[in-house]
Amino acid sequence: MQPSPWSCLCLALLVGLPPAFAQDAAPAAPTADEARRPGDIGQRWRIEFERSADTDGAIVLRLWPHNQPPIEVTIPVQQGNTGNGLARKTRDALRDSLDKNKFAVEDAGHYVTIAAFNGERRFALELASNTARGLGVELDRTGR
């Protein structure tokens, strides 16, 4: 006599074995980009430059659009660059790298703002690196 499917299921549950027909597919592992994506997102960000650069170097910003790979923007820094000059360089580099139909980039004094146009999804921004000594770079989310 063959055991019924119900008795097999009950026996499997009693001994702690998952029934073969109840196994779910394993959840997909996140991609490398998804694993590194910053959690802080907003519709507007402000980049503020503090002090002057003591050495040559570079600033690398990483912008994470919604459901897209990150966009890296490198801003070369020369010794003596001030916050105002770096804000202009950063504005130009971001305008060249970002979709003009999705992002507005403006500068005022020693800071730069990046805003997603109305209807666009929020995005993340991070300072990937700053190799210029003496130069402070601060990122602030200013929009929801």
Q: Which residue has the higher pLDDT, 51 or 26?
A: 51
Cα Rg for the chain, rounded, in angstroms? 25
Q: What is the pLDDT of residues 32-52, one digit of tens each?
A: 455 576 677 889 999 999 999
What is the pLDDT, as a whole number, of residue 5?
55
How far is it, in rounded angstroms, from Cα 126 to Cα 53? 20
pLDDT at position 18 over 90: no
The pLDDT mean for the chain works out to 82
The structure's pTM equals 0.73
Q: What is the pLDDT of residues 93-113, one digit of tens each?
A: 999 999 999 999 999 999 999
- Tell me the domains of the chain and their CATH numbers: 40-141 (2.60.40.4390)
Q: Which of 21-25, 105-109, 112-116 has the weakest average pLDDT?
A: 21-25
How far is it, in rounded angstroms, from Cα 139 to Cα 124? 11
